[in-house]
């Protein structure tokens, strides 16, 4: 059972989180890092399925999201400054909290979309803290278009400040992804082929908000940092890494960005990369047709990853 909201008090924030206790003999700890403009409670079904397979699951709301509170992090902003470092620090703090409650168990870090950016950035920051990493539906292959977006954001910051919503980035991302879906029913049909799941997202007051200029800049910093060799060198080359993409996900160029990251990691000597492209899925693998099978396959991978650590 996914817990009601609990809180982890930090010097500069109160992290809201949920926990599912392992319902079978414990194999490990799974930390969930959610995506942009959503929150951890949406991962209830995933957490409970993983708990049934023997994993203690923890999912917290990132700064500027959900029920987490911090003086400098209203909805839509990580922080007034040093947002990337603070968000990474929160994951490390959640890891320490979980590990203190379940000592001696391996720790797997899972991230979806923005959460995948956070997960890989956290892994390269504190590599000794994690035994395996899963990055689902994330795009690290933004290239020149990403650099152009950074330039737009810097211009917006100069003209109107960093703590207001970006005027252009939502149109270039969420808006463009929505328009790419033929015969779309809503602007968020790019998330899933299941109308009920899309409707729940649209109706959720903690989903779909506008991100600030500073948050978008933080996201691009986390996008460009991990693929660099100087940062990849922080990870052991035999770390198990699980990558998932959707063949109909416009946010990852229909899975091409996932394949790019897979090939990039292999080129740099990583030997335990497991890559899956679910051909008909859109952005939210966990809320798609076939989600149960994808989760079962992930749990099998987790079993193998923790058995060999």
Question: Binning pLDDT at 50, 70 and 90, where does residue 24 land?
Answer: confident
Q: Is the pLDDT of residue 8 over 90?
A: yes
- For the segment 75-103, the average pLDDT, to the nearest whole number, is 97
Helix ranges, 27-113 (H) = 44-52, 83-101
Q: What is the pLDDT of residues 106-161, one digit of tens each?
A: 999 999 999 999 999 999 999 999 999 999 999 999 999 999 999 999 999 999 99
> What span, in angstroms and rounded, lies between the C-alpha atoms of 114 and 227?
15
Q: What is the CA radius of gyration of the chain?
A: 18
**Residue among 60, 56, 61 nearest 103 (CA):** 56
Q: Is the pLDDT of residue 309 over 60?
A: no
Helix (H, G, I), strand (E, B) or coil at 255: coil
pLDDT at res. 283: 98
pLDDT at res. 1: 83
pTM of the model: 0.97
> What span, in angstroms and rounded, lies between the C-alpha atoms of 187 and 202?
9
Question: Binning pLDDT at 50, 70 and 90, where does residue 308 land?
Answer: low
Q: What is the pLDDT of residues 200-241, one digit of tens each?
A: 999 999 999 999 999 999 999 999 999 999 999 999 999 999
For the chain, list the domains and their CATH numbers: 6-307 (3.40.50.1820)
Q: How many CB atoms are located within 10 Å of the residue 155 CB?
A: 12
Question: Helix, strand, coil: what percent of the chain each, to 5?
Answer: 45, 15, 40
Q: What is the mean pLDDT of the chain?
A: 97
Helix (H, G, I), strand (E, B) or coil at 126: coil
For tokens 């060999």, the residue is 308
Among residues of the chain, what percentage have pLDDT more than 70?
99
């Amino acid at each position: 059972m996914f817990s009601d909201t609990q809180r982890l008090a930090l010097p500069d924030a109160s992290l809201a989180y949920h926990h599912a206790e392992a319902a079978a003999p414990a194999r490990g700890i799974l930390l969930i890092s959610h995506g942009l403009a959503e929150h951890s409670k949406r991962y209830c079904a995933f957490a409970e399925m993983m708990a049934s397979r023997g994993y203690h699951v923890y999912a917290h709301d990132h700064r500027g999201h959900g029920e987490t509170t911090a003086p400098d992090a209203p909805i839509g902003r990580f922080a007034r400054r040093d947002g990337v470092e603070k968000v990474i620090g929160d994951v490390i703090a959640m890891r320490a909290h979980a590990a203190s409650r379940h000592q001696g168990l391996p720790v797997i870090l899972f991230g979806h979309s923005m959460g995948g950016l956070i997960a890989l950035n956290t892994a390269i920051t504190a590599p000794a803290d994690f035994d395996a990493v899963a990055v689902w539906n994330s795009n690290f292959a933004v290239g020149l278009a990403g650099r152009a977006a950074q330039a737009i954001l810097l211009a917006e910051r100069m003209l109107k400040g960093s703590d207001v919503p970006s005027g252009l980035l939502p149109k270039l991302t969420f808006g463009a992804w929505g328009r790419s879906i033929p015969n779309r029913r809503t602007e968020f049909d790019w998330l899933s082929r299941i109308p009920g799941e899309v409707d729940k997202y649209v109706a959720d007051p903690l989903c779909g908000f506008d991100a600030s200029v500073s948050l978008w800049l933080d996201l691009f910093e986390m996008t460009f940092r991990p693929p660099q060799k100087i940062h990849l060198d922080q990870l052991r080359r035999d770390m198990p890494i699980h990558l998932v993409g959707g063949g109909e996900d416009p946010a990852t160029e229909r899975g091409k960005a996932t394949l790019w990251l897979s090939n990039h990691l292999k080129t740099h000597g990583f030997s335990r990369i497991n890559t899956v492209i679910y051909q008909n899925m859109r952005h939210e693998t966990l809320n798609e047709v076939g989600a149960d099978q994808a989760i079962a396959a992930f749990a099998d991978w987790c079993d193998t990853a923790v058995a060999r650590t």
